[in-house]
Chain A
Amino acid sequence: MSDQELKEPNQFSRREFITGVGGMGIGAIFAGSLARMLLLPDDVLAIPASSGYLLVDTKKCAGCTSCMLACSMTHHGQSNLSLSRIQVTQDPFGKFPDDIGIAQCRQCPYPSCVEACPTGAMHADEKTGVRTVDVSKCIGCERCVNACPFTPGRALWNFEEKHAQKCDLCLNTPHWNHEGGPEGVRACESVCPMHAISFTTQIPVQSDEGYNVDLRTGTPWTQIKFDGAVGATGVAGSGLKK
């Protein structure tokens, strides 16, 4: 389901507002005291902003899927790519940088998943604003799953436990005795060997560019010839010159 399909002619759709198509920066709008209550274009009250957001650098990602294994293990006690709330998709034959996509929940300022939920199971955590699921209220309708405007959807159906779920920034990790959430430590971020996942308390700009960031600048990354640096064949010490 694309944003374009939902757009009303000559109107500023809610979904467009949410996803920031066209570079609209909802972060700028939400920053500061306006964040608590805001009347959106179709008369729906905004809910409290999340107090944290995952950022990723897809150019830095090595595709090891450790983030997915850690997410599912800490939340469900099993390493299961299908139950991970962060998804890394890749094409082994693809061309860098389009060979990898990282799909992390954006903790949308205006969350379609929350709005779609008929029971309040999908909600914003009262203390942190993190969008998460109260599984005791989930009736399995999957409206939240279908409402997420992104591909792949960030709200997912837990086919084993029979409820919806999504990234809670590790607020509730029954299998990892560690403080999570915006003020704690996130499993995916902790295990990423390339440091390709980061965290911010500032609302990112609501576009891909807001969530897919450069975590390489300021590191020797370029010097070690990744991402655009010129390859250096036969460099000193390579030991490969015959």
Chain B
Amino acid sequence: MGNGYTGKILKVDLTTRKIEEIPTKKYESWGGGHGMGSAIFWDLCKDKTVKGTDPGNVVTIMTSPLSGTLAPSVSGRTEVQGIGLQGYPTAWFTRSNFGGRFSTQLKQAGWDGIALLGKANAPVWLNIVNGTVTFEDATPLWGLDTRETQEEIWANVGDGGEDGSWSEVGGARDAGRTTQRAAVLTIGPNAEKYGPLAALIHDAGNGAGQGGFGGVFASKNLKAISVIGTGGVDIANPQAMMEARLWAQKYAYAGHADNPNTYVGMQGMSAPPGNAIRMYSDGVKSRPQSCVGCLRSCRGRTHTGSGNESSCIDFHWFTPQDKQAHGGIITENTAAATDLIQRYGMNASTFMAITLWFQDLIAMGIIGPGKEIDSNLPFSAFGTVDFARALIKSIAENKDIGADLAQGLPQAAKKWGRYEKDTQSGILPIQEWGYAHHYDARTEVEWGLASVLGDRDINGHDFDFALYWTPTLCAMQGKEPDVSAERAAEIFAKKLVPFNDPMMIDYSDEGIYSDGIVKATAWLVYYGRFWKNSILYCDWAWADFINPYGPDFEGMTPDGEPKFLNAATGGNLTFEQGMNIGRKIWNLDRAIWVLQGRHRDQEVFTGYTYDQPSMGGQTSFELPYTLPVYEDEKWSFKSVAGRKLDRKKFEDVKTMFFKFEGWDPTTGWPTRSSLHGLGLDDVADELEQAGKLGNAS
């Protein structure tokens, strides 16, 4: 009887081309995914202040005990970490993750994760076939796009193949057989040329976009990792796993596709019909498409093959342009542009910021031939795939303005002399750390606070779906949400273990500077660090607070998360204990950032956050913000659009947060006491040695 882990982590030294096994047991207390990745990085990265392109950088690619199991909307995700290339002005130790089936194949091959060290002396790709790992020559692949690369590797490894027949893996009868294709994680063509924008891509539409890990791979001369396995994921209690899965089916959005209810919310994006309605042009036929084991099926595959497996921002970066150029409707240009960005392996999120900014720069007469920003890109074709191709190619080939954008969006803006003024006005939608504006720190304040105190856009939709999207969409449609603000506060208070404070969802002008927002932010980062990024519950399905198919609209959190985990591990971890591990991981990450030079004075947003009122337009999808507020001793949904953040009050909130964590409020650095309480004495030692241990007083 197993515990969901395979028992070993693959350590790959690209410099020496040596393979070692790390016993998973050593890191099991971190859960998996991000926690294990941070701990391994801490142990193996000798100098944590190096740049992401330095051979000393360590990249981890981790699974969880639930990867490759029946646990829903978790099984297919993989976590990637290391020092990135995207963060600005400092490229922090950061993370990204992606869906699909890579984690399942990696587990089936017998590995809980991969740690990549060093730099190969020539282009290589890693070929993992069960327990056998070989370095293959990637010279012929280096200039290929992500699809071409995968198809070349599939032809090479001889897996299940196109006809779906059984294939012997490893060449021996009892080595196992599969009908499946190898799972390949790859970078785009010559990704070293556009590192901060370079993603890791798997299959048609799974990407680890944020962080610039494609550029990190390229710096290590690593083109791709292919894995095919025929082993199983052995769990402690299959009966409990099956029962849990059937329990979760009752909550499943996808499972109700035959009989959907009328709840207004983001299930239309993160579950069928999702992208099928929203992102494909008229007449396109499609199916829903899932990551392994998922109950959501939020992507599609089409009869044209265009737009396959992409979702959300993969399309959104182009939809405003497409609509603008084509009478307000989405045309085939969107899916075609989406395919391009996937095949080139670039970060769609950054492209959304680039193109929204360009729209304004074009209108202002600032960009174009002979203009302030001199460029011969075909701006007259803005909104067509021709422009998308020209823009992407210019970056990939370092030509025209693409040569500057390839160094990173904020870097290009700086070079063009526009960073300060355009982030002050807000037409350059970057709110923190050089990442594209996602949800607004002025309105969904816990999102912004978690991002600016972290390493990147936090990308945690836990509160967002139920508390922003549903009331906002309802307000626009003139409907009352199925769940009132008062009931939402009751449900959230019940489920926000361990704080259980309804004031955590008070988005009033007072609430966003209160103890409630501090706890909400702490909850978001602890939950994210453990349940979401370590156990790898998918952000688009978990946390599950309000669920139209649950009893009295109550979702599966906090019962679901440990239910599946314990079925796999055989343990009895509580939800709260998981949150405590999340806090430990958050503190370890914080320590790494401190070693990289983090100080609270850097943790500020760009100017428009404080000086411009929040409004739609900083992203392609934002709508006037309607959120729950507690005013005059009662709960209601209210528009908070138009709000600015008060600089002093926000600094006070940061101070409250640092004290909440037991960190030094003057620097934001963890203290010996706070780290000791989490069992991180060795981390305290290293901070002290670097002169960066917070002062307890």
Contact = CB atoms under 8 A, between A and B. Distances in A.
* A complexed with B: yes
Interface of A: 59-66, 69-70, 72-74, 76-83, 87, 89-97, 99-101, 103, 151-153, 156-157, 159-160, 162, 175-178, 187, 190-191, 193-195, 219-221, 224-242
Contact of B292 (A64, A78, A176): A64
B107 to A, nearest CB: 9
Nearest to B160: A89
Interface in B251-283: 252, 254-255, 257-260, 264, 268, 272-273, 276-278, 280-283
B177 A221 contact: no
B418 interface: no
Chain A CB within 10 A, most for which of B1, B147, B204: B204
B277 A235 contact: yes
Given A93-B147, A242-B320, A62 B288 contact: yes
B525 to A, nearest CB: 27
A64 B291 contact: yes
Nearest to B69: A79
Contact of B283 (A69, A90, A231): A231
B233 A78 contact: yes
A77 B291 CA distance: 22
Nearest to B330: A233
A219 B259 contact: yes
B: contact size bracket: 35 or more
B623 to A, nearest CB: 6
B308 interface: yes
Interface in B203-259: 203-205, 230-235, 238-239, 241-242, 245-246, 249, 252, 254-255, 257-259
B493 to A, nearest CB: 27
Given A175-B238, A187-B242, A224-B272, 5 more contacts: A78-B2, A82-B108, A151-B164, A191-B70, A224-B260
B242 A70 contact: yes
A170 to B, nearest CB: 11
A151 B160 CA distance: 11
The 8 closest A-B pairs by CB, nearest first: A80-B232, A78-B232, A89-B164, A64-B290, A92-B203, A224-B273, A175-B238, A62-B297
Contacts of B302: 95-96
B283 A152 contact: no
Contact of A80 (B108, B164, B292, B330): B108
Nearest to A227: B285
A60 B287 contact: yes
Given A74-B242, A193-B297, A194-B257, A239 B232 contact: no
B238 A74 contact: yes
A97 B330 contact: no
Contacts of B230: 80, 82, 159
B284 interface: yes
Contacts of B260: 220, 224
Contacts of B72: 66, 193
B304 interface: yes
Nearest to A219: B258
Contacts of B252: 193
B549 to A, nearest CB: 12
A217 to B, nearest CB: 11
Contacts of B246: 190-191
Nearest to B474: A237
Contacts of A190: 246, 249
28 contacts: A62-B290, A62-B294, A63-B287, A64-B294, A64-B297, A70-B242, A78-B2, A82-B176, A87-B179, A92-B308, A95-B303, A96-B287, A101-B164, A151-B165, A190-B249, A191-B70, A191-B242, A193-B294, A193-B296, A194-B254, A220-B257, A220-B260, A221-B258, A231-B277, A232-B282, A233-B282, A239-B469, A239-B472
Contacts of B257: 194-195, 219-221, 224
Chain B CB within 10 A, most for which of A65, A99, A236, A237: A65
Nearest to A66: B293
B514 interface: no
A160 B176 CA distance: 8
Contacts of B316: 240
Contacts of A93: 147, 151, 203-204, 305, 308
Chain B CB within 10 A, most for which of A73, A76, A78, A193: A193
